[in-house]
Amino acid sequence: MTSHPAPLAMNELTTRLTGRLAPGRTGAERDAGSNGLPHAVGGELDGATVLRAFREAAGGVHRMLMVRTRNDAALCDDLMQQLWLAARKVPADLTIERFQPWLRGVAKNLLASHFRTASSPSRMVTADPALAMQIASALENPQPGELLTTNEAREQLLLALTELDGEDQELLIAHYVHGQAFAVLAERMRMSERAVEGRLYRARKELRQTLTRLTK
Amino acid sequence: MTSNDSNLNNAPMNTQPDAADAHVHANLSRTLPAMEIPGSVSEEQLDRWTAPAAIPLAARPVVRSRFKRLVPLASAAALALAAGAAMIWHSSASTVQAATILRSLRENTFSGLRVYVSNMKAEGIEVNLDARMHFDREMTAVELFNLEGNHAEPKLSSMYAVATVKGDATSQAPGLDATAEVAFSPEADWVYTKINQLPEIEELRGNPMANFVTAAAQRGVLLDLGRDSLRQGNTLLGIPALGQMSDDGDDEFEPGDLPPTIRQQIELDIAKGVVGADGNPANLTAEQKAEVERRMNAMFAGINAGHAEGPGARVRPGSPTPAAGSLNEDQVLQRMMPLLQGTGGGAAVDQFAQMLRGDSSVFSSVTVTNQGNGSYLLVSTLAPDEQNHTATISMSYTENVGLQYVEITNFSGMPAGAKVRVEMFSGAIPAEMFDRSRVITPQTWVIDQNFLNMFR
């Protein structure tokens, strides 16, 4: 039984994929960051920038937590509140480019801390590097066999998918889960279909590489 | 260069994707649609998560749980009244009938107690409470008291309580309107507090910490002890879950009864008092340490003295008996034992009825009303004590069902609607009581161990 979430709202997807955190910034300025996020002045993040960056990253991080907790919504809700508290104390030397990876690291630490004291630690989904490697190979195989249909493999695939940054996650989900065509995505993202295709290529490549890098 | 043009740079250098990628594309197209992937987050979620800042709650002393005391006292009152009522309304009937009712009372089982406190007011502070306590098994009142000496003490399996506190203009917290909820169950243990209206206290104005804490409490604060705290002994802010409170079984409130972190905080405060606010408590001399210990012990001695003089003071076996003619709790229970154990026969029944009727130091009046359908209501008025305090105790009993409730009203010095009511029930506490989502709003602060770990 599969239940798909509602498709992303147009402006939400557009904002996430174009990374326009600071309205009015030029294209050159946006390109300055590898993930499209703006550099904060002097390498320090002010409160408004952190808030915008957190809201940008929240969807992907929340999905990562949901997958790792087997959809424990209440727990993830708590963790996201704690994550925001941690984000408010962002290290002084953190740049906006490093914000999302840093936030993900904090989220994983919070989750690990929770499960260290939880009554049901077995509910936490952990990476299986060997299986993840097999999945990476299977994905590149024209005849992957039954591996990709097993629950264990799908769990690892989800782990890898939610390890991607928010933009790649959203794009892969929009295209492969919600079936949104290049033309639709191009219109929403305000870019050419070829550019969308390029981004999807990069996202798939990142997913494969992430599978080979999954560690416990 | 436009932003759209710049995105072309994201395309692969080779515009024909490699063969492996084509297979990845095909396999993802087959696999991902069949997977259950968590959905996007809503604006409401984002708003809730990014609500303004946390509260560095300071550990504060807590009063030892009186739960273990409350249950037997409430039940003792219920039992005494039930037994007494049985004697009285069947006094004209045969003792055989009375014994039958007593046996039914002895055999009726329940698994929980519900306590209401309504409109109780002291020094301008009005308290309302609805507390439900559920035990790990069905039991009789005899088992609850272990009156036969061979029953294991029942364990609290879950508890839910909601209380409101209001202060009027004459109180020390005029205008205060606060709510607190406590939920302990294997699934969720939490404590929720919310100040609906702040008290108008001059001393708090301009105090940054007070403003910070009260501002947070106005939003609502939920302290989460984690799941199954009753059994696992989880703590938050050094405060253990209800069932894990340190209680060595005696009536003395001792430093050892406190959670270590709270005890240390109190010691630190006392130490500062000894060496002065500018002194360093860590550098106490031996004499100063002795002085800290002496003050600590004096503080607890004072608490215990006040408690022993309070209305809830328990008279222990061997202790001096109360005023001539009155019976202490142990003596009442002692006289009830033959009845509850069914060993006293008619003589014990008559003796107990006589005790309730004849001991004018306990009850000034006792009446029984037959309400039909096998239900009876006993209303008794407590004789005034030395401070002229009195109250009315009502008890409802239904044949073949058992004790329904015990209610205490007409307290001296209390508002007309003041009431304490104890009900016995079977079955679990409704699950929705433990659902914390009832109290969580986008403004609510949820504080749990993970949150606190960030400050360590």
B454: chain A residues, CB-CB within 8 Å? 82, 85-86, 89
Q: What is the pLDDT of residue A58?
A: 92
Burial class (CB in 10 A: 0-12, 13-18, 19+), B322: middle
CA distances from A30 to A48, B10, B406, B433 (A): 17, 14, 72, 50
Residue B121 is encoded by which pair of tokens? 């007011």
**pLDDT at B456 exceeding the cut of 80:** no
Residues in contact with B357: Cβ distance below 8 Å, sequence separation at least 6, in sequence order? B88, B363, B366
Angstrom distance (rounded) from CA B19 to CA B71: 74
Which amino acid belongs to residue B138? E
Number of H helices, E strands in chain B: 13, 14
CA of A115, closest CA in chain B: separation in Å?
A: 10
Domain-located, residue B348: yes
Tokens 């509850």 belong to B340
Asked if CATH classification 1.10.1740.10 holds for the domain at A126-216, the reply, yes or no, is no
Q: Is the pLDDT of residue A7 over 80?
A: no
Q: Where is average pLDDT lowest: B123-132, B254-263, B340-349? A: B340-349
Distance in angstroms (rounded) separating the CA atoms of residues A211 and A159: 9
> Is the CB of B37 less than 8 angstroms away from the CB of A140?
no
pLDDT of residue A10 exceeding 60, the answer is no
CA A35 to chain B, closest CA, distance in angstroms equals 11
Q: Which residues of A fall within a CB distance of 8 Å from B30?
A: 148
Q: Which residue has the tokens 């009442």?
A: B332
* Residue A65 in this model has a pLDDT that exceeds 90: yes
In terms of Cβ atoms closer than 10 Å to its own Cβ (0-12, 13-18, 19+), residue B278 is: exposed
Burial class (CB in 10 A: 0-12, 13-18, 19+), B89: buried
Of the segments A138-152, B289-303, B337-351, which one has the largest average pLDDT value? A138-152
Tokens matching residue B43 = 């604006």
Other Cβ atoms closer than 10 A to A190: 14
- Is the residue at B125 inside a domain? yes
Instruction: Give the range among B174-183, B291-300, B420-429 with minimum mean pLDDT.
Output: B291-300
DSSP characters for B32-60?
GGGS----PPPHHHHHHHTPSPP--PPP-
Provide the shortest C-alpha distance from residue B230 to chain A (in Å).
12
Tell me if B446 and A78 make a contact (CB, 8 A cut-off). Answer: yes
Which is more confidently placed, B82 or B139?
B139
Res. A49 pLDDT band, cuts 50 70 90: confident
Please answer whether residues B98 and B82 qualify as being in contact, where contact means their C-beta atoms are separated by less than 8 angstroms: no
Q: What is the largest CA-CA distance in chain B?
A: 106
* Residue of A110, A119, A172 with shortest CB distance to B228: A119
At B337 the pLDDT is: 54
| Choice between B321 and B191, residue whose per-residue pLDDT is larger | B191
Query: What local confidence, expressed as pLDDT, does residue B207 receive?
Result: 67
Q: Which domain holds residue B391?
A: 61-309+344-453
Nearest to B38 among A66, A144, A207 (CB): A66
| pLDDT beyond 50 at B386 | yes
Nearest to B133 by CA among B55, B232, B66: B66
pLDDT the model gives residue B245: 40
Cα separation, A55 vs A60, whole angstroms: 10
Distance CA B20, CA A12 (A): 31
Interchain CB contact of A204 with B (< 8 Å):
yes
A152-166, B3-17, B240-254, B309-323: range with highest mean pLDDT: A152-166
Measured in angstroms, the CA of A102 and the nearest CA of chain B are apart by 15
pLDDT of amino acid B43: 86
Residue of chain A nearest B42, judged by CA positions: A59
**Angstrom distances, CA of residue A118 to CA of A123, B73, B240, B386:** 10, 36, 16, 53
Contacts of A194 in chain B (CB under 8 A): 8, 11, 15
| A153-181 per-position pLDDT tens digit | 988 999 999 988 888 888 999 999 888 88
Task: Please state at what angle helix B95-107 crosses helix B67-89, rounded to 10 degrees.
Answer: 160
Do the chains contact at A140 and B10, CB–CB below 8 Å?
Answer: no
Q: What is the pLDDT of residue A160?
A: 92
User: Cβ of A139 and B28 within 8 Å?
Assistant: yes
Tokens representing B396 are: 């409802």
A89 near A188, Cβ under 8 Å?
Answer: no
Write down the pLDDT at residue B59: 24
Across the interface, do A141 and B25 touch by the CB < 8 Å criterion? Answer: no
**Which pLDDT score, from 0 to 100, does residue B399 have?**
66
Nearest CA in chain B to A200: B11
pLDDT band at B204 (very low <50, low <70, confident <90, very high): low
- Distance, CA of A10 to CA of A59 (rounded, Å): 15
Whether the per-residue pLDDT at A202 is higher than 60: the answer is: yes
When CB atoms are compared, the residue of B10, B51, B450 closest to A79 is: B450
What are the chain B neighbours of A74 within 8 Å (beta carbons)?
Answer: 436-437
CA pair distance A78, A76, nearest whole angstrom: 5
Q: What is the pLDDT of residue A119?
A: 55
Residue contact A71–B27, C-beta within 8 A: no
Name the pLDDT band for B313 (thresholds 50, 70, 90): very low
Q: How much is the pLDDT for B451?
A: 67
Q: For residue B296, what are the CA distances in angstroms to A45, B247, B254, B359?
A: 48, 18, 10, 43
The predicted pLDDT at position B145 comes to 60
Distances in whole angstroms, Cα of residue B204 to Cα of each of B210, B212, B269: 6, 11, 20
Residues contacting B380, CB < 8 A, separation 6+: B81, B84, B356, B363, B365, B366, B367, B392, B393, B394, B395
Comparing B294 with B63, the larger pLDDT belongs to B294
Higher pLDDT, B376 or A148: A148
Question: For position B1, what pLDDT does the model report?
Answer: 36
Ranked by mean pLDDT, the top range of A84-98, A200-214, B59-73, B411-425 is: A200-214
- Least CB–CB distance from A176: residue in B6, B28, B39: B28
Q: What DSSP line would sit under B78-135, residue for residue?
A: HHHHHHHHHHHHTTTS-HHHHHHHHHHHHH--EEEEEEEEEEEEETTEEEEEEEEEEE
* Residue numbers in B near A88 (CB within 8 A): 53
What tens digit of pLDDT does each residue of A92-127 get? 788 888 888 899 999 988 888 877 766 555 577 888
Q: Which of B60 and A92 is assigned the larger pLDDT? A: A92
Distance, CA of B214 to chain centre = 23
CA B390: distance to chain centroid? 26
- Percent pLDDT > 90 in chain B is 0
> Which of the residue ranges A183-197, B55-69, B84-98 would you say has the lowest mean pLDDT?
B55-69
Classify residue B335: in a domain, yes or no.
no
Interface residue A63 vs chain B (CB under 8 A): yes
Find chain B residues with C-beta within 8 A of A4's C-beta: 33, 37, 39
Residue range B266-287, pLDDT digits in tens: 777 777 777 675 666 677 788 8
- The residue ranking higher by pLDDT, B48 or B242, is B48
Query: Which tokens sit at B221?
Result: 């604060």
- Computed on alpha carbons and rounded to an integer, the radius of gyration of chain A in Å comes to 18
The residue ranking higher by pLDDT, A12 or A202, is A202
pLDDT tens digits along B31-47: 888 888 888 888 888 87
pLDDT at B433 over 70: yes
**pLDDT at residue A103 in the model:** 92
Q: Please list every residue in chain B whose beta carbon sits closer than 8 Å to the beta carbon of residue A118.
A: 226-227
| Nearest-Cα residue of chain B relative to residue A178 | B33
- Take residue B247 and report the two structure tokens written for it: 């209680």
Mean local confidence (pLDDT), B300-305: 62
Tally C-beta pairs within 8 A across A and B.
171
The answer to whether residues B54 and B451 touch, using CB atoms and an 8 Å cutoff, is yes
Indicate yes or no: CB of B41 within 8 angstroms of CB of A59. Answer: yes
Interior angle at CA B273, CA B269 and CA B274, nearest 5: 120
> How confident is the prediction for chain B on average, in pLDDT?
65
Alpha-carbon span A112 to A102, nearest angstrom: 15
Which of A5, A113, A201 minimises the CB distance to B40?
A: A5
- Would you say how long chain B is, in residues? 456
Q: What is the pLDDT of residue B223?
A: 79
Q: Using the 8-state DSSP alphabet, how is residue B23 labeled?
A: H
Mean predicted confidence (pLDDT) in B134-144: 76
Structural domain boundaries in chain A: 8-124, 126-216
Q: How many domains does chain B have?
A: 1
